[in-house]
Structure 1
């Protein structure tokens, strides 16, 4: 059996199209990593805008790790408000957040992200106040009580948009209670991994489809199907070896590429911030109780299982269609068409069905409150998607096994 798997594995990799697709995808993603690092922007202590690794260094300097308990939050807010009252550091210009131009450039801009996190917790839905307006109105107010209200506001919005039901909103309230005190610090490497992982998974899915499309369709195309099925293990071990080799190929490509770009980010930008809460990376409410490393791991695992789901679909198509290029076209359509279908354009059922499609990993975000309910069990979007796509990959691979094994051969 091992020799059969090894033989099928080599057959997949011997395809020039597969080699070019895998190499092209890897090179393109490495370029994207380099490009995303070059686009990092920050403002240093002298008010100069810097980019790339210089920007990462500046963010690290101003990203001193600190626990945002109530006393710390009040101190940070007070420091800003005092500058808006001091004639030497204040101005009447709302575009400068009521600070003098020098203070705005050299003191506020390097710390803007931290102040934005605090403001967005206090910022009531629908308000368009300035930073000073929000912080003056809420100075001294309990930071985490305000955060709870923001979460409840978001849950009300999601109910109104037919994303969740009242029972699911109550479930989120209980889950959100597990979110603890914020910690703030430098986390740029992890932030870029989270920002890019879901989008890049689509490219990896395309490479996977190209590699495994000929697994069964190629045998039809070359008229070798009748010969293979007449062999001693042609209707059992050989088909199983094809399926296992396909899964091994897809997993190798996915994790090989994913781990390479993650390693590049973390080597260049550092692993700092791995233990910071995911909440500080978004301006919207987030109720997942995860740190940056856990969130990154979850997104990578989600991408892998979505990719396996697409693998099952491709193998099933390969067992049905008689031409490998037809399989590639059909698989690409199943990847591309759903990206044009908006999850916000339909009702409750539409949103939940779309979310489970492999292509919709591009829509996943930890700010989403979409959940799935099976009987009395409620699970998050990633949990449901991983379970369904994992099970779907097994089921569709089994169907591919049966279709190829039982199809009518030409004699």
Structure 2
């Protein structure tokens, strides 16, 4: 334990780590979370030209929107949808942005566009719910099932794979229970999924020098004189790196959940994810989706830690180790768009390359004759890659250190 304490202290005493953690906190929690709630995303708007034009009143504006949405809470039926669209049109007619900005217009428009595409007028410069006749919005549940069926066909997902998702869909409770969607959309479809890459960058900054830093700091000879074996010291370094990962993850997660509760409260946690993405097949509510996304973030972070440690053990330069570690995330992300679908799916299994928002999608992997929904592999493969990397990291560093 004393060795671990000293190694952990040594890690945190590095200026790059202190600066990196501070920047990570500022970028994710202050700019990405706090200011998004209070200003960029939820601040009231006088125009839609820029988020920077929003007022600094997110907290009170969220409360107003939640209060407005309560009149529609409950079963999402044809009548409810029609009433919501009609109310939006009345408010939009006033040409006062603050009036129709109060509505859940983004979700409404997405639902109508997806389920009633035949009502869209190509020559209309306005969003669809501005001109559609609310009385024509009928058969919500039937159209949702048909739209999912057509979507799977368009994706080439037929036969057993199609049946897999249609059976999953049958477990979704109907009618859908509507709650104000924008807050939970921000959390589950935007914020958490975007934390991964940023977290990966600062993990690399902190962990990349873990092994190769001994050459950089010229302490290899000093370590050689200690009574502890190379592998024991390597094991301590691994534990210190994992502890650092858990600490950084904890700082980000606890802070973001705290701000979420302060600004959004807990209302709407039981809303089905179909209210966020109408063609989602999973029978999950938004709380389950958020829990999954934070688990994904944790396991991806731990898996990435193992891979970065292996990179550090294989090099003698902090900078080379850092560049390789960052390349593991960014090269696959850049190359993915040029690959066939199977190649993209394969790269998604690398920590932080895939996305936790696959819970809203119908992606699958075919493995040993089994059909596996992508979110399951996206949380198991990254941590497995990290665990596989750790013994190699210890072995290679101990072997090179003896030379």
TM-score if structure 2 supplies the norm length? 0.84
Match of 2:230 in 1: 235
User: Could you give the per-residue CA deviations for residues 348-396 of structure 1, whole angstroms, max 9, x where no partner exists?
Assistant: 3212112112242458443322122222433222210211111111110
> 311, 326, 332: which one pairs with 1:338?
332
The answer to whether 1:250 aligns with 2:245 is yes
1:56 pairs, out of 62, 68, 85, with 62
**Separation of aligned partners in 1, 2:351 and 2:314:** 20
Name the CA shift for 1:409/1:176 in 2 (closer, same or farther; >3 Å): same
Aligned counterparts of 1:109 and 1:203: Cα–Cα separation in 2:
31
- Secondary structure of residue in 2 paired with 1:287: coil
Identify the residue that residue 94 of structure 2 maps to in structure 1.
Answer: 102
Judge conservation of contact 1:316–1:400 (CA < 8 Å) in 2: yes
Q: For residues 103 and 22 of structure 1, do their structure 2 counterparts lie closer, same or farther at Cα, with a shift above 3 Å needed?
A: closer
**Cα 1:402/1:79, change in 2 over 3 Å:** closer
Which 10-residue stretch deviates more, 52-61 or 9-18? 52-61
Name the CA distance, whole Å, in 2 between partners of 1:349 and 1:165. 17
Counterpart in 2 of 1:309?
303
Name the SS of the counterpart of 1:180 in structure 2.
Answer: coil
Distance 2:226 2:270 in 1: 55
Q: 1:360 to 1:166 in 2, by over 3 A?
A: farther
* Contact 1:336/1:359 (<8 A) preserved: no
Secondary structure at 1:379 match in 2: strand
* CA drift at 1:28: 2.2
Instruction: Spell out, residue by residue over 1:179-220, the C-alpha distance to the aligned partner (whole angstroms, 9 max, x if none).
Output: 112111235543332211121221111111111112110123
Q: Secondary structure at the match of 1:378?
A: strand
Q: Does 1:67 align with 2:64?
A: no
Check if 1:275 corresponds to 2:281.
no
Is the 8 Å Cα contact of residues 56 and 188 (structure 1) preserved in structure 2?
Answer: no
**8 Å contact 1:277–1:290 — kept in the other structure?**
yes
Residue of structure 2 equivalent to 1:174? 167
Cα offset, 1:273, TM superposition:
1.2
CA RMSD of aligned residues (A): 3.1
Q: Secondary structure at the match of 2:359?
A: coil
Give the equivalent residue in structure 1 for 2:33: 33
Moved more, 114-123 or 180-189: 114-123
Q: Which moved more, 1:51-60 or 1:183-192?
A: 183-192
SS of the residue 1:286 aligns to: coil
**Conserved? CA contact 1:189–1:271, under 8 Å:** no
Q: 1:202 aligns with which of 197, 200, 222?
A: 197
After TM superposition, list the pairs within 5 Å mapping 1:350-389 onto structure 2: 350-361=343-354, 364-389=357-382
Provide the rounded CA distance (Å) in 2 between the counterparts of 1:340 and 1:100.
41
Which of 247, 253, 261 aligns to 1:266? It is: 261
TM-aligned CA distance change 1:272 to 1:138, over 3 Å:
closer
How many Å separate the matches in 1 of 2:308 and 2:263?
Answer: 36
Distance (whole Å) between structure 2 residues aligned to residue 206 and residue 278 of structure 1: 30
Asked if the contact 2:212/2:313 (under 8 Å) is kept, the reply is yes
Per the TM alignment, residue 268 of structure 1 is displaced from its structure 2 partner at its CA by 2.2
Please list, as runs of the form range in 1=range in 2, the aligned pairs for 1:118-137 lying within 5 A after superposition: 119-120=112-113, 122-124=115-117, 128=121, 130-131=128-129, 133=132, 135-137=134-136
Post-superposition Cα deviations, 1:102-143, rounded to whole Å, max 9, x if no partner, equal: 39979766445364365256324895584464744443x2x2
**Displacement after TM superposition at 1:15 (Å):** 0.5
Deviation, structure 1 residue 327: 0.8
Taking a change above 3 Å as real, the CA distance of residues 348 and 126 of structure 1, as seen in their structure-2 partners, is farther
**Higher mean Cα deviation, 118-127 or 182-191?**
118-127
Q: Is the 8 A contact 2:113 2:120 kept in 1?
A: no
Alpha-carbon distance change, 100 to 265 in structure 1, aligned in 2, over 3 angstroms: closer
* Deviation of 1:302 (Å): 0.7
